Amino acid sequence: MAALLNGALTERSVHLCIDMQRLFSTEGPWPTPWMERVLPTVVRIAERFPERTVFTRFITPERPEDMPGTWRAYYERWRQATREYLDPRLLKLMPPLARLVPPATVVDKPVYSAFAGHKLLDYLRKRQADALIITGSETDVCVLATVLGAVDHGYRVVIVADGLCSSSDEGHDSLLSLYSKRFSQQIETVDSEMLLAAWN
C-alpha cells in the first residue's frame, strides 16, 4: 500500500468515522460480520485525536411513510429497522467509540451520505478542515456515498483500508480498487500504520 502522496496530515485534518453503530454489528438487522475485526483499528485512530474525530450515525425513520420515493419501499422491506420496531440502543455507536464522545463529535444522518444536509459541512468549514481521514461501515454503501461527497466538496480524502468493513467481501474489495485506481488523483488509500505515522 502506497504512502501518503500529498504529505503529512495536519492539525486541521479530521477523522470521519462512518456509521460504526450497533445497528451494523452482529446484533443488528444489517450485520457487518467483520465490524468487530476492524473496530480496534478504528479505536486506535479515534483515540489519537478524539477532539478531531466525527462519528456519523445512520438514523432510520420512525416508519416507512416518513421517507420519500424509493426509501419508502426500502423501509417497507426493512420495517424491522424502523424506529417504530428497532431497539433504540442499536442506533448507538459501538461502545469503545461511544466512550470518546465528547470530545469527539456525533453527526446524525437519514441517508447514506454524511454530506446530506448541512451539519457535517458546517462543522468542517468551522474547523477549516483540510483533509478527511475515512474509516467505518460500509465500504460500498455509506462510506462510498460520503467519500464521493467529500471529493465533490474538494476535500483531500485519505481512506484507511484496514479501518473499513462491509457485509460484502466482493463489494469491499471492488471499492478499495476503485478508490485507489479510478480516483487516485483525489483519494489516497493507506493502511492504519502509515496513517498513524503521518498524523502526529
CATH code of 155's domain? 3.40.50.850
Query: Would residue 7 count as lying in a domain?
Result: no
* pLDDT above 70 as % of the chain: 98
Residues whose CB is less than 8 angstroms from the CB of residue 49 and which lie 6 or more positions away in sequence, other chains included: 15, 199
In a domain, 132, yes or no: yes
DSSP, res 144: H
Contact 94, 20 (CB under 8 A): yes
pTM, two decimal places:
0.94
Q: Is residue 1 part of a domain?
A: no
**Total domains, the chain:** 1
Q: Is residue 2 assigned to a domain?
A: no
Instruction: Compute the distance between CA of residue 38 and CA of residue 40 in angstroms, rounded to an integer.
Output: 6
* 58 grid coordinates: 445512520
Q: Assess if residue 3 is contained within a domain.
A: no
Q: Show the cell assigned to 56.
A: 456519523
Establish how many alpha carbons lie within 13 A of residue 36's alpha carbon, considering only the half-sphere containing its beta carbon: 6
Q: What is the pLDDT of residue 3?
A: 65
Q: Is residue 105 situated within a structural domain?
A: yes
Give me the domain span that covers residue 35: 13-198
List helix spans (H) across 15-140: 35-48, 69-77, 95-98, 119-127
Let me know if residue 8 belongs to a domain: no
How many Å apart are CA 23 and CA 100, to the nearest integer? 19
Tell me if 164 is assigned to some domain. Answer: yes
Q: Which pLDDT score, from 0 to 100, does residue 171 have?
A: 67
**Ranges in the chain, pLDDT < 70:** 1-3, 171
